[in-house]
Structure 1
Amino acid sequence: MKPYRMVSSDLKNEKTLVRVKDVVFGGRKVVVIAGPCAVESREQVVAAARGVRRAGAVMLRGGAFKTRTSPYSFQGLGEEGLRLLKEASEETGLAAVTEVLDKDSLELALEYVDMLQIGARNMQNSSLLRMVGCSGKPVLLKRGFSATVEEWLMAAEYIVAAGNHNVVLCERGIRTFESATRNTLDLGIVPLVQELSHLPVIVDPSHATGKRCLVAPMSRAAVAAGADGLLLEVHPEPEQALCDGFQSLSTDDFGCLMPELQAIAGIVGRTIASSNCIVSQVAVER
């Protein structure tokens, strides 16, 4: 058998369905997760949540802990960011996902969000992988900057081997010689990994390209390639964003993109999951 035994399609022919509240990854419906790179304020994250839900997203993203290249860059609001993310999640009825960096951030996040994200920098942090494997929460596992497919799947194996089978893989581009984009988006990975593994595979065109003008085209291409979902950065005012505004869509741009994704999904025999089908206990607009 392959070294990634438990996540291999050799072990399990049918696709794993990962449920996050009312959202299901790996089925016929393509899941769109959208929201700001980082939670900056109550007004910002609530406006983003309302905007992406109105356009049809079914999950909300937002970083409370940010690993940045520079120690002087915005590092997130910590637990306050988690509180604000949960507030926006509860108001809109959108399930929330956030990145965790270590034991402390993991323990805090467990109280506030519905899904945990392991970022590219931590893809091979075996201690953290084991901890989220024992957490009981669904996990979104991003591919590392220079990780091979086998290394990525072996990282998922750590989580599954620890007892957590609810893992969604996320392609976010890899580092190559090319400098015109932030990373090189490897869309060929989508059908390849779906052949090798039973886990759902989604794509993050925002971090992959690093350019707002490229996010929509590569989102359309990802759906056409068979991705089970998208992870998109959307900000009410991208030009004012404290983190990654240059690759974030505005809520209006996101609203224009969603019908295009629906049309492409239909061509490949799928549909885009809609927030209109998600039962919420509260109204979006108050």
Structure 2
Amino acid sequence: MIIILNESANDEQVDHVVAKVAELGLDTTVSKGSFRTVIGVIGDESLIQPDQLEAIPGVAQVVPVMPAYKLASREAHPKASTIEVGSGKVSPVKIGGGYLAMIAGPCAVESAERMDAIASSIRDSGANILRGGAFKPRTSPYSFQGLAEEGLEILRDTGDRYGMPVVTEVVDPRLVDLVCQYTDMIQLGARNMQNFVLLTEVGKTDKPVLLKRGMSATIKDLLMSAEYIMAQGNSNVVLCERGIKSFDPATRNLFDIAAVPQIQELSHLPIIVDPSHATGRPELIPPCALAGVAAGADGVHIEVHNKPEDAMSDGPQALLPEQYAEVMVQIRKVAEVMGKQISKPAAATV
């Protein structure tokens, strides 16, 4: 950690900062330049609260050397992590370390029949993780909120039937235990990326977590949210770039493709892309999906519905099963160039 003092800082203020750091059991080195004095702190940075030091008269800025997201950082874990999703009746699917997660399915679980039809088609196309929302956080309180536990049962049964691990969103800390009974992976959506109570509860589970970037969140914000989960003991976190708010209404969000390599430079956690929520336009999903894989993403999350006009949630941004099949052909080609492979789900029982 480096403490930069104001140009007007006097010797008494410098000594006060040094004494404060010493009280915490850390050593310092003082470098006096022509215009500024810089104090280097030697020791465990976690013992220091930068805000407290910045409150000392004469201190201009406190600059941590280590990132605040210690567990999620590359410094803590230089090798890229590989997360496994699935157990029991389904074979584990690997994410990261050269393995791609192909997550697909409808925005919301609507019925057993529709879920079965969609799962059958996307599995044949190469998807290896089935998604579907049982609890839907909606902008309007009058919109479809999901089938709750009935939806979880349908998702679980469908995943088992087609040998696919399932992922679904949890929106309430009180529902974490219930969701864990049915799912192989817990999703935390953009609206809950900084729901710190929910992050903490999910961190106490042993389920892999799919953490989506908030609509106005910085990359550091996303990594700090991952840190909340990991600080509770759950290190199986997969990040998701799903677009951020923009001034341009041409797309639903702004697809921040640069976030993929930047996060991989900062963190060991796998990161996937979600071009469905990023663009909100079916014709833009395939090229953005390919761009994500080409940028180094560890997977692609795409919404698929067999009759979007009847969808109870996000129908306009869903691909048809045949469109998904086409983009999967292209994704395989890009994955081969990137030296990555797609894990295959277990054998179906239908």
The normalised TM-score by structure 1 is 0.96
The residue matched to 2:263 in structure 1 has which SS? helix
The answer for the alignment partner of 1:3 in structure 2 is 68
Equivalent residue in structure 1 for 2:256, among 179, 186, 192: 186
Distance 1:149 1:25 in 2: 20
Aligned partners of 1:254 and 1:264: how far apart in 2?
15
Does the 8 Å CA contact 2:164/2:346 hold for their aligned counterparts? no
- Counterpart CA distance in 2 for 1:92 and 1:203 is 24
Q: Does 1:84 find its partner at 2:149?
A: no
1:101 alignment partner, one of 157, 171, 190:
171
Q: Distance in 2 between matches of 1:2 and 1:28?
A: 26
User: How much has 1:274 moved relative to structure 2?
Assistant: 4.5
Displacement of 1:190 after TM fit?
0.1
DSSP 3-state at the match of 1:107: helix
Name which of 319, 332, 335 aligns with 1:262. Answer: 332
What is the CA–CA distance in structure 1 between the aligned matches of 2:175 and 2:125, rounded to whole Å? Answer: 30
Equivalent residue letter for 2:85: V
Identity of aligned residues (%): 51
State the AA in 2 paired with 1:90. D
1:164 maps onto 2:231 in alignment: no
Deviations 1:160-191 (A, max 9, x none): 00000000000000001111100000000000
Bigger relative contact order, structure 1 or 2 (CA pairs below 8 A, ≥6 apart):
1
Moved more, 234-243 or 205-214: 234-243
CA separation in 1, counterparts of 2:252 and 2:190?
14
CA contact (8 A) 2:162 2:346 kept: no
Query: What is aligned with 2:78?
Result: 13
Q: Which runs of 5+ in 1 are unaligned?
A: none
Give the conservation status (yes or no) of the 8 Å contact 2:100–2:343: no
In 2, the alpha carbon distance for the partners of 1:111 and 1:53 equals: 23
| Residue pair 1:173, 1:184 contacting (<8 A) in 2 also | yes
Secondary structure (helix, strand or coil) at the match of 2:330 reads helix
Shift of 1:12: 1.0
SS of the residue 1:110 aligns to:
helix
Larger CA Rg, structure 1 vs 2: 2
Alignment of 1:141-160 (within 5 A): 141-160=211-230
Q: Is the 8 A contact 1:65 1:105 kept in 2?
A: no
Q: RMSD of the alignment, in Å?
A: 0.9
- Where does 1:1-286 land on structure 2 (aligned, <5 Å)? 1-21=66-86, 22-271=92-341, 273-275=342-344, 278-280=345-347, 282-283=348-349, 286=350
Q: Which runs of 5+ in 2 are unaligned?
A: 1-65, 87-91
Aligned-pair CA distance for 1:104: 2.7
How much does 1:70 deviate? 0.9
| C-alpha distance in structure 1 between counterparts of 2:267 and 2:130, whole Å | 26
Letter in 1 for 2:254: T
